[in-house]
Amino acid sequence: MSDSPSHPETAPDTPPDRPEPSAVRTLLRLWPYVRPVRARLFTAVVVAIAASCVGLVIPLVLKWIVDGPVAGGDPGGVWLGALLLLGIGVAEAVLFGFRRWLVARPLAGVEARLRGDLFAHVQRLPVAFHDRWASGQLLSRGTTDLMMLRMFLAFPLTFLVVNGATIVVGMAVLLAQEWTLGLVLLLPVLPLIAVCSLFESRYARVARRAQDQAGDLTTVVEESVLGIRIIKGFGRHRSQARAFGEQSRQLRTTELAKARLLASIWAVIVILPELALGGALVLGVVQVADGALSAGTLVAFLTTALALRWPVESIGFLLAMCQEAATATRRYFEVIDTARESVGPDALPGAAPGGDPDGPADGLRFADVVFRFPDAAPDSPPVLDGIDLHVRSGETMALVGATGSGKTALTALVPRLHEVTAGRITLDGEDITALPRAELRSRVALAFEEPTLFSASVGENVLMGADGGAGEAELRRALEVAQAGFVDRLPDGTATEVGEQGLSLSGGQRQRLALARAVVGAPRFLVMDDPLSALDVHTEALVEEALRRVLKGTTALVVAHRPSTVLLADRVALLSGGRIAAVGTHQELLRENAEYAWLMSGADAPPGTGGPGPAELAKGTSR
């Protein structure tokens, strides 16, 4: 949509200038999902057309009754006619029910398959994709958009065909009955088509704007809930409410514009056919008066014409719904068309030059690794610019660097949550791109700075870290390492449900469970991003003591902000200016590296820097 770039909620991947494929082309993309149920769907369309045609027969029977038995005073004929009417009525009812029965389960199935595919795709899209997309945008595609598609398949699709066929058949019947009157009724068709197509494009624009504004409104709500502490802390709920009020008033304006459009098309659709009908009535009366037409024929003609009113009126909003369904399809495929993360391996084993001679116990190696966020401008300075680092097998390496120096980005490269821009990373001599991703990630365990728990029991959350091989004993040991004894005081112990649908735990508690998850599988490689930041001094000391035992024999990279965490490590690497500026033991670096000493104790500002800004500082000392 041309106006989309001004809306933050619009899919960030849509190039704003690309001309959009037509609604029909877009909707055709649903075919692979519809294919399995095509037989039932087509049968349903045929049944619906049959039902509609049966409906059209009713006026003819009425005509027959009026002109025949009634005029002729034949009681038997009246009975026959009424019975015929009843039979047709029953047939119509059964056919309509049959149509719905035919499509009910298959269409629910189509919706479910679309949703399942979206879910499977979304969780395999690159992490960089998720960094750009708000979760609400993905969710709305998985729920409301798919519901709209199911409705589209159930109604507008069928009824555009059915009502189109009904109009054609109806017009044929009318023309056959009395072609002059029929022509009068055909008069408004062309203007109607013109008005409808004009309406269609306008409506699509307004509808998309309304969708985007509704999305923006959702963002304000979401942020006001997530940032509630800040809003309350600064007493800003009034200004927040003002912003919300403004956005919702904008939405109201758009919705009213949409309503006006819809109302205009309705008015046109009501007036034009009705005028034609009036004309046909006057003309018909004249013909009946002249004796050119029987009264019964006029009744039948008008009944048929009136029966066609609904199909004609419905075309307007059926087209509107098709537009909305096309938008929903477009939104759905925006996500589906994004390439998944490859399953791996992406390189041949050993194909990388300089394959490692040290064999299986080489540890973790970064060789000239360059990294730039995929959405950053290609000429911007990379976050990591030539990282060379070797974590020996069994060694624990602390990674220290100023705020914003790229430590978290570096840890994300190891399990390939982000991809290196250049250079390579090896695990025991094997290039990580030469491993299937699942294999890579089963070798490397992670603990994140922001610990996420899923809606499952405490035990299940922790055991996610192991490949199904771990049991109660491993769980206990991991909880012990993480000092997560609080688990036993939870209502159901390790079976307590946590996450979005369960008990909410404090930041420190969640961090300890995330730590337990990282260590439960006794991984060969462990990557931890400031895993103890939310713990108090007492707990931190206890966790460190236990961790030290675990880390023996594990190759670990630990991002650290504090000397206490650094002390877990055998050696320390200093990340500065996108490079590893120094590697050594804590003591060595404290003595020899001014920046490190400054980072770890803050005691003396390193030479040559006047300002307190850590970023300026990092630049001053890195080269």
Partner 1 sequence: MTTESRPKETPEDGRTPAALAVPAPDPFDQDDLPTPPGATASLLRSLLAPMRARVGLVVLLLLLQQAAIQAGPLLVAYAIDQGVPAVREGRWGPLVAVGAGYLGCALAGGLLQYAFLTRSAVVSQDVLLDLRGRIFRHGQALSLDFHERYTSGRLISRATTDVESLRELLDEGLQELVTVLVSFVYIGGMLLWLDLGIGSVAVLSFVPLYLLIRLYQRRVGRVYARRSTAIARVIVKFTETVNGIRPVRAFRREEANDAEFAELNRTHERSNGDALLEMARYVVGSRLVANTAVAGMVLWGAWRVADGALALGVLAAAVLYVRRLYDPIDRMAMFLNAYQSAAASLEKIAGLLAQRPAVPEPETPVALPAPTGAGPGRTVEFAGVSFGYRTGGEVLPRFDLTIPAGQTVAVVGSTGAGKSTLAKLLARFYDPSAGQVLLDGVDLRTLATPDLRRGVVMVTQEAFLFSGTVAENIAIGRPDATRAEVEAAARAIGAHAFIAELPDGYDTDVRKRGGRISAGQRQLVGFARALLADPAVLILDEATSSLDIPGERAVQQALATVLRGRTAVVIAHRLSTVAIADRVLVMADGRIAEDGTPEELIAGTGEFAGLHRAWRESMAG
CA dist 620 and 414 (Å) reads: 28
As given in the structure block, the two tokens for residue 116 are 């399942």
For residues 526 and 478, the answer to whether their CB atoms sit within 8 Å is: no
CA angle 152, 158, 159 (to 5 degrees): 100
Distances (CA, A) of 88 to 45, 62, 76, 82: 19, 12, 18, 10
Q: Compute the least distance from the CB of residue 123 to partner 1, in Å.
A: 5
Q: Compute the least distance from the CB of residue 428 to partner 1, in Å.
A: 19
Peptide linkage before 345 cis (omega within 30 of 0): yes
Among residue numbers 375 through 404, which ones bind partner 1 (CB under 8 A)?
375-377, 380, 401-404
Among residue numbers 520 through 559, which ones bind partner 1 (CB under 8 A)?
530, 533-541
CA dist 430 and 349 (Å) reads: 7
Of 390 and 418, nearer to partner 1 (C-beta) is 418
CA dist 29 and 412 (Å) reads: 36
Pick from 261, 262, 264, 277: which is nearest to 310 by CA? 277
| 268 near partner 1, judged by CB under 8 A | yes
The mark string for 459-498 relative to partner 1 (x by CB under 8 A, - otherwise) is -----xx---------------------------------
Q: Which stretch binds partner 1 (CB under 8 A): 227-235, 358-366, 389-397, 576-584?
A: 227-235
Of 246 and 337, nearer to partner 1 (C-beta) is 246
User: Which DSSP state fits 70?
Assistant: I
Of 199 and 448, nearer to partner 1 (C-beta) is 448
Q: Compute the least distance from the CB of residue 357 to partner 1, in Å.
A: 30
For residues 437 and 341, the answer to whether their CB atoms sit within 8 Å is: yes
| 186 near partner 1, judged by CB under 8 A | no
Number of residues engaging partner 1 in binding (CB under 8 A): 204
| 616 near partner 1, judged by CB under 8 A | yes
Of 446 and 481, nearer to partner 1 (C-beta) is 446
Using the rule CB under 8 A, which residue among 41, 391, 445, 580 binds partner 1?
445
Q: Compute the least distance from the CB of residue 184 to partner 1, in Å.
A: 12
Q: Is 515 helix (H, G, I), strand (E, B) or coil?
A: helix
Pick from 285, 315, 320: which is nearest to 301 by CA? 285
Among residue numbers 310 through 329, which ones bind partner 1 (CB under 8 A)?
310-311, 314, 317-318, 321
| 149 near partner 1, judged by CB under 8 A | no
Using the rule CB under 8 A, which residue among 5, 35, 601, 607 binds partner 1?
601
Residue in the structure block whose two tokens are 């013909």: 287
| 222 near partner 1, judged by CB under 8 A | yes
| 88 near partner 1, judged by CB under 8 A | yes
| 573 near partner 1, judged by CB under 8 A | no
| 69 near partner 1, judged by CB under 8 A | yes
Using the rule CB under 8 A, which residue among 38, 350, 506, 553 binds partner 1?
506
Among residue numbers 110 through 129, which ones bind partner 1 (CB under 8 A)?
111-112, 115-116, 119-120, 122-124, 127
Q: Which stretch binds partner 1 (CB under 8 A): 198-206, 356-364, 368-376, 545-553?
A: 368-376
Ramachandran class of 493: left when φ > 0, alpha when ψ lies in -120 to 50, beta otherwise: left
Q: String of b and e for 333-351 (b: at least 16 CB within 10 Å)?
A: ebbbeeeebeebbbeeeee
Amino acid symbol at 605: A
β-bridge partners, 510: none
| 612 near partner 1, judged by CB under 8 A | yes
Residue in the structure block whose two tokens are 């075309």: 315
